[in-house]
Amino acid sequence: MRKLKLDELGRPDADTFRASQKIPVVAVLDNIRSLHNVGSVFRSADAFAIEAIYLCGITACPPHREINKTALGATETVEWHYFENTAECLKTLIEKGYEIICIEQTDQSVQLHDHLPQPKTALVFGNEVDGVSEEAIPLCQNAVELAQAGTKHSLNVSVCAGIVFWHFFNILHKFA
Protein backbone atom coordinates (compact mmCIF):
# COMPACT_ATOMS: atom_id res chain seq x y z
CA MET A 1 0.00 0.00 0.00
CA ARG A 2 1.12 3.54 -0.70
CA LYS A 3 -0.40 6.90 -0.07
CA LEU A 4 -1.67 8.62 -3.21
CA LYS A 5 -0.21 11.94 -4.30
CA LEU A 6 -2.55 14.87 -4.83
CA ASP A 7 -2.25 14.68 -8.62
CA GLU A 8 -3.35 11.02 -8.49
CA LEU A 9 -6.69 11.78 -6.79
CA GLY A 10 -8.41 12.96 -9.97
CA ARG A 11 -9.97 16.03 -8.38
CA PRO A 12 -11.24 18.82 -10.63
CA ASP A 13 -9.53 22.19 -10.67
CA ALA A 14 -11.33 25.15 -9.07
CA ASP A 15 -12.92 26.43 -12.30
CA THR A 16 -14.20 22.98 -13.28
CA PHE A 17 -15.58 22.40 -9.80
CA ARG A 18 -17.37 25.78 -9.69
CA ALA A 19 -19.06 24.92 -13.00
CA SER A 20 -19.98 21.37 -11.97
CA GLN A 21 -23.40 20.23 -10.85
CA LYS A 22 -23.88 20.28 -7.07
CA ILE A 23 -26.31 18.43 -4.88
CA PRO A 24 -29.42 20.63 -4.32
CA VAL A 25 -28.59 21.44 -0.71
CA VAL A 26 -27.51 24.71 0.89
CA ALA A 27 -26.11 25.34 4.35
CA VAL A 28 -27.25 28.24 6.53
CA LEU A 29 -24.80 29.24 9.27
CA ASP A 30 -26.86 30.93 11.96
CA ASN A 31 -24.54 33.21 13.98
CA ILE A 32 -21.47 30.97 14.02
CA ARG A 33 -18.81 32.74 16.08
CA SER A 34 -15.69 30.67 15.33
CA LEU A 35 -13.92 31.54 12.11
CA HIS A 36 -12.28 28.11 12.16
CA ASN A 37 -15.73 26.50 12.20
CA VAL A 38 -16.78 28.66 9.25
CA GLY A 39 -13.68 27.60 7.32
CA SER A 40 -14.25 23.94 8.15
CA VAL A 41 -17.85 24.13 6.93
CA PHE A 42 -16.59 25.62 3.64
CA ARG A 43 -14.11 22.76 3.27
CA SER A 44 -16.79 20.12 3.93
CA ALA A 45 -19.20 21.91 1.57
CA ASP A 46 -16.56 21.67 -1.15
CA ALA A 47 -15.92 17.98 -0.39
CA PHE A 48 -19.59 17.05 -0.67
CA ALA A 49 -20.58 19.41 -3.53
CA ILE A 50 -22.98 21.54 -1.49
CA GLU A 51 -24.71 24.17 -3.66
CA ALA A 52 -23.99 27.21 -1.46
CA ILE A 53 -23.44 28.50 2.05
CA TYR A 54 -25.51 31.31 3.55
CA LEU A 55 -23.65 33.19 6.27
CA CYS A 56 -25.96 34.98 8.71
CA GLY A 57 -25.67 37.45 11.57
CA ILE A 58 -22.31 37.45 13.34
CA THR A 59 -20.96 34.69 11.08
CA ALA A 60 -17.79 36.03 9.47
CA CYS A 61 -17.40 36.19 5.71
CA PRO A 62 -14.44 35.47 3.47
CA PRO A 63 -11.87 36.61 2.78
CA HIS A 64 -10.44 36.25 6.24
CA ARG A 65 -7.11 34.76 7.35
CA GLU A 66 -8.67 32.65 10.13
CA ILE A 67 -11.36 31.22 7.81
CA ASN A 68 -8.72 30.41 5.21
CA LYS A 69 -6.66 28.40 7.72
CA THR A 70 -9.27 25.64 7.74
CA ALA A 71 -11.03 26.26 4.41
CA LEU A 72 -7.81 25.65 2.44
CA GLY A 73 -9.17 27.41 -0.66
CA ALA A 74 -12.79 26.24 -0.42
CA THR A 75 -13.97 29.85 -0.05
CA GLU A 76 -12.95 30.18 -3.70
CA THR A 77 -14.90 27.13 -4.88
CA VAL A 78 -18.09 27.20 -2.79
CA GLU A 79 -20.71 29.84 -3.58
CA TRP A 80 -21.66 31.93 -0.55
CA HIS A 81 -24.05 34.75 0.41
CA TYR A 82 -24.39 36.94 3.48
CA PHE A 83 -27.57 38.00 5.32
CA GLU A 84 -27.60 40.23 8.38
CA ASN A 85 -30.60 38.32 9.70
CA THR A 86 -31.13 34.56 9.66
CA ALA A 87 -34.92 34.85 9.47
CA GLU A 88 -34.69 36.99 6.33
CA CYS A 89 -32.33 34.45 4.80
CA LEU A 90 -34.74 31.60 5.53
CA LYS A 91 -37.72 33.54 4.16
CA THR A 92 -35.76 34.10 0.95
CA LEU A 93 -34.93 30.39 0.70
CA ILE A 94 -38.57 29.42 1.37
CA GLU A 95 -39.63 31.73 -1.49
CA LYS A 96 -37.13 29.88 -3.70
CA GLY A 97 -38.79 26.56 -2.80
CA TYR A 98 -36.30 25.17 -0.28
CA GLU A 99 -37.39 22.92 2.55
CA ILE A 100 -35.86 24.39 5.71
CA ILE A 101 -34.42 21.84 8.14
CA CYS A 102 -32.74 22.85 11.36
CA ILE A 103 -30.05 20.61 12.72
CA GLU A 104 -31.19 20.87 16.31
CA GLN A 105 -32.57 18.89 19.22
CA THR A 106 -36.27 19.77 19.40
CA ASP A 107 -39.44 18.12 20.64
CA GLN A 108 -40.13 17.12 17.00
CA SER A 109 -36.67 16.28 15.69
CA VAL A 110 -35.93 12.96 13.98
CA GLN A 111 -32.62 11.16 13.92
CA LEU A 112 -30.46 11.85 10.88
CA HIS A 113 -30.32 8.16 9.96
CA ASP A 114 -34.16 8.13 9.84
CA HIS A 115 -34.40 11.22 7.62
CA LEU A 116 -34.67 10.68 3.87
CA PRO A 117 -33.00 13.70 2.22
CA GLN A 118 -35.03 15.55 -0.38
CA PRO A 119 -33.67 17.81 -3.10
CA LYS A 120 -33.81 21.57 -2.57
CA THR A 121 -33.06 21.55 1.13
CA ALA A 122 -31.61 24.27 3.34
CA LEU A 123 -29.80 22.94 6.40
CA VAL A 124 -29.63 25.39 9.32
CA PHE A 125 -26.66 25.03 11.67
CA GLY A 126 -26.70 27.06 14.87
CA ASN A 127 -24.36 28.95 17.12
CA GLU A 128 -21.76 26.97 19.06
CA VAL A 129 -23.35 27.83 22.44
CA ASP A 130 -27.02 28.60 21.76
CA GLY A 131 -27.75 26.36 18.78
CA VAL A 132 -30.24 27.40 16.09
CA SER A 133 -31.72 30.78 17.01
CA GLU A 134 -35.24 31.20 18.34
CA GLU A 135 -36.00 33.43 15.34
CA ALA A 136 -35.07 30.64 12.93
CA ILE A 137 -36.86 27.68 14.56
CA PRO A 138 -40.42 28.73 13.57
CA LEU A 139 -39.32 29.01 9.93
CA CYS A 140 -38.06 25.42 9.84
CA GLN A 141 -40.36 22.74 8.47
CA ASN A 142 -38.39 19.91 10.06
CA ALA A 143 -35.66 19.27 12.61
CA VAL A 144 -32.96 16.64 12.44
CA GLU A 145 -30.51 15.59 15.15
CA LEU A 146 -27.55 13.23 15.29
CA ALA A 147 -27.67 10.21 17.57
CA GLN A 148 -25.04 10.40 20.30
CA ALA A 149 -24.05 8.08 23.13
CA GLY A 150 -21.70 10.22 25.21
CA THR A 151 -22.21 12.71 28.01
CA LYS A 152 -22.07 15.85 25.83
CA HIS A 153 -25.25 17.29 24.38
CA SER A 154 -23.86 18.26 21.00
CA LEU A 155 -21.04 18.02 18.50
CA ASN A 156 -18.85 20.83 17.24
CA VAL A 157 -20.87 22.61 14.55
CA SER A 158 -18.32 21.98 11.80
CA VAL A 159 -18.11 18.27 12.67
CA CYS A 160 -21.90 18.10 12.68
CA ALA A 161 -22.07 19.85 9.29
CA GLY A 162 -19.62 17.38 7.79
CA ILE A 163 -21.67 14.41 8.98
CA VAL A 164 -24.95 15.89 7.73
CA PHE A 165 -23.43 16.91 4.38
CA TRP A 166 -22.11 13.38 3.91
CA HIS A 167 -25.55 11.91 4.67
CA PHE A 168 -27.24 14.16 2.09
CA PHE A 169 -24.42 13.66 -0.45
CA ASN A 170 -24.50 9.89 -0.02
CA ILE A 171 -28.20 9.78 -0.91
CA LEU A 172 -28.61 12.71 -3.32
CA HIS A 173 -25.34 12.48 -5.27
CA LYS A 174 -26.65 9.63 -7.40
CA PHE A 175 -29.42 11.99 -8.62
CA ALA A 176 -27.15 14.98 -9.34
Q: What Å distances lie between residue 106 and 3, 31, 32, 102, 103, CA to CA? A: 43, 19, 19, 9, 9
For the chain, the domains span 21-145+153-174
Mean pLDDT, the chain, as a whole number?
A: 96
Q: Tell me the C-alpha distance between 47 and 78, whole Å.
A: 10
Q: pLDDT per residue over 91-137, tens digit each?
A: 999 999 999 999 999 999 999 999 999 889 999 999 999 999 999 99
> Which among 102, 114, 101 has a CA at the least distance from the CA of 147?
114
Q: Which residue type does 89 have?
A: C
Give the per-residue pLDDT at 13. 94
Q: 21-145+153-174 has which CATH code?
A: 3.40.1280.10
Q: What is the pTM (predicted TM-score) of this model?
A: 0.96
